[in-house]
């Protein structure tokens, strides 16, 4: 019984698809909060991030993009209430940043904390056993370097902690993982102040998470993406980005997903974003649209994004609110 209850807790986090009569239960593995976009900017662009320049939260995506950031450093905190229409109490708190040691070397850091609502655990007689408050977090430390002109690579190490409650002899679990990323950027010869970027990212490659007598895989991905950065003049700027991702583990949910979005900047200070993510609902990855806006002034950054989806998608009406500073 104890094992069954714990398995239910683990599988509860298949958040992109609410249980339906026509969909069989699927094992999405452990610590699935790692699949949530951690910041408002990328969320507003449908989750596109692999080749997105100028992001304080590059440590959560492709750390190599920090090398091409126009800033020398930055930090951003994001609060995101998740599954608001499905089960209140879920929230993701993220803190990410980077600092350029010089023009070729960058250090990155991040922290994510996922808070669950309190859950009541019942025994086989349907009697309340106890109440638990699950929580999970991850610490990210990364390094990026430009190895030759226009080409940069990165590596990020992660310490992951999962605490699903101490009932029935269960203990918190830890795991280690790494991310690898690379980007290549070139300017358009026929356009002034315009460039394109291509990138690749491998994420969450590491050990399994052990709960009692079961071991669950991390949500491992490989993604390739590109972006085009067009600065028409000092008033108008447009970035268009797209990612193609493949979820490698767990094996039950191997699938392709596509994220695409755009960011329009007006007079350097006002940001308007929109995006779309296409996923395989039968594999726990639903499709959704996003929209967002931001205000950046004198280094300060405030960004907001909202997620739109069908009524049976738990992520529906989730939002992200980010506060950052770049220098």
pLDDT tens, the chain, 327 aa long = 344 344 434 434 444 444 343 455 567 778 999 999 999 999 999 999 999 998 999 999 999 999 999 999 999 999 999 988 877 789 999 999 999 999 999 999 999 999 988 877 776 777 666 778 889 999 999 999 999 999 999 999 999 999 987 666 667 899 999 999 999 999 998 788 899 999 999 999 999 998 877 889 999 999 999 999 998 888 999 999 999 999 999 988 999 999 999 999 999 999 999 999 999 988 889 999 999 999 999 999 999 999 999 988 989 999 999 999 999
Write out the H or E segment, with its range, that includes residue 6.
helix 2-11
Q: How far apart are CA 4 and CA 15, in angstroms?
A: 19
**All structural domains of the chain:** 2-326 (2.40.160.60)
Residue 30 structure tokens: 């452990």
The confidence score (pLDDT) of residue 312 equals: 86
Cβ within 8 Å of residue 270, ≥6 positions away: 293, 294, 295
The confidence score (pLDDT) of residue 282 equals: 87
Residues paired with residue 223 on neighbouring β-strands, in sequence order: 201, 245
Handedness of CA 52, 55, 58, 64 (dihedral sign): positive
Cβ contact 92:33 at 8 Å: yes
Residue 272 structure tokens: 């308007």
Q: How far apart are CA 230 and CA 240, in angstroms?
A: 9
Cβ within 8 Å of residue 327, ≥6 positions away: 71, 72, 73, 74, 299
The confidence score (pLDDT) of residue 166 equals: 66
Residue 185 DSSP SS3: strand
Q: How far apart are CA 191 and CA 177, in angstroms?
A: 41
Where do we find the tokens 């992001």? 55
Cβ contact 305:67 at 8 Å: no
The confidence score (pLDDT) of residue 131 equals: 76
The confidence score (pLDDT) of residue 169 equals: 62
CB atoms within 10 A of CB 17: 22
The confidence score (pLDDT) of residue 198 equals: 98
For 302, half-sphere exposure in the C-beta direction (CA atoms, 13 angstrom radius) is 3
Q: How far apart are CA 318 and CA 79, in angstroms?
A: 11
């Amino acid at each position: 019984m104890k094992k069954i209850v714990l398995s239910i807790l683990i599988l509860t986090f298949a958040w992109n698809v609410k249980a339906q009569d026509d969909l069989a239960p699927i094992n999405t593995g452990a610590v699935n909060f790692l699949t949530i976009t951690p910041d408002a900017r990328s969320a507003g662009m449908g989750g596109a991030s692999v080749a997105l320049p100028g992001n304080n939260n590059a440590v959560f995506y492709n750390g190599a993009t920090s090398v091409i950031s126009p800033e020398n450093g930055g930090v951003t905190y994001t609060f995101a209430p998740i599954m608001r229409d499905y089960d209140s109490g879920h929230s993701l708190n993220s803190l990410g940043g980077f600092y350029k040691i010089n023009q070729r070397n960058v250090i990155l850091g991040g922290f994510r904390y996922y808070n669950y609502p309190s859950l009541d655990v019942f025994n086989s007689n349907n009697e309340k056993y106890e109440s638990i408050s699950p929580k999970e977090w991850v610490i990210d430390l990364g390094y990026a370097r430009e190895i030759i002109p226009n080409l940069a690579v990165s590596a990020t190490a992660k310490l992951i902690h999962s605490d699903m409650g101490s009932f029935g002899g269960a203990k918190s679990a830890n795991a280690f993982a790494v991310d690898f990323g690379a980007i290549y950027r070139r300017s358009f010869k026929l356009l002034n102040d315009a460039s394109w970027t291509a990138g690749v990212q491998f994420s969450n490659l590491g050990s399994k998470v052990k709960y009692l007598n079961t071991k669950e895989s991390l949500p491992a991905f490989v993604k390739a993406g590109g972006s085009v950065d067009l600065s028409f003049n000092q008033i108008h700027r447009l970035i268009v980005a797209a990612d193609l991702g493949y979820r490698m583990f767990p094996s039950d949910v191997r699938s392709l997903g596509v994220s695409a979005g755009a960011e329009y900047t007006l007079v350097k200070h006002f940001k308007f974003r929109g995006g779309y993510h296409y996923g395989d609902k039968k594999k726990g990855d639903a499709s959704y649209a996003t929209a967002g806006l931001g205000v950046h002034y004198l280094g300060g950054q405030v960004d907001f994004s909202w997620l739109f989806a069908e009524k049976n998608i738990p992520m529906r009406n989730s939002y992200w609110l980010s506060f950052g500073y770049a220098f």
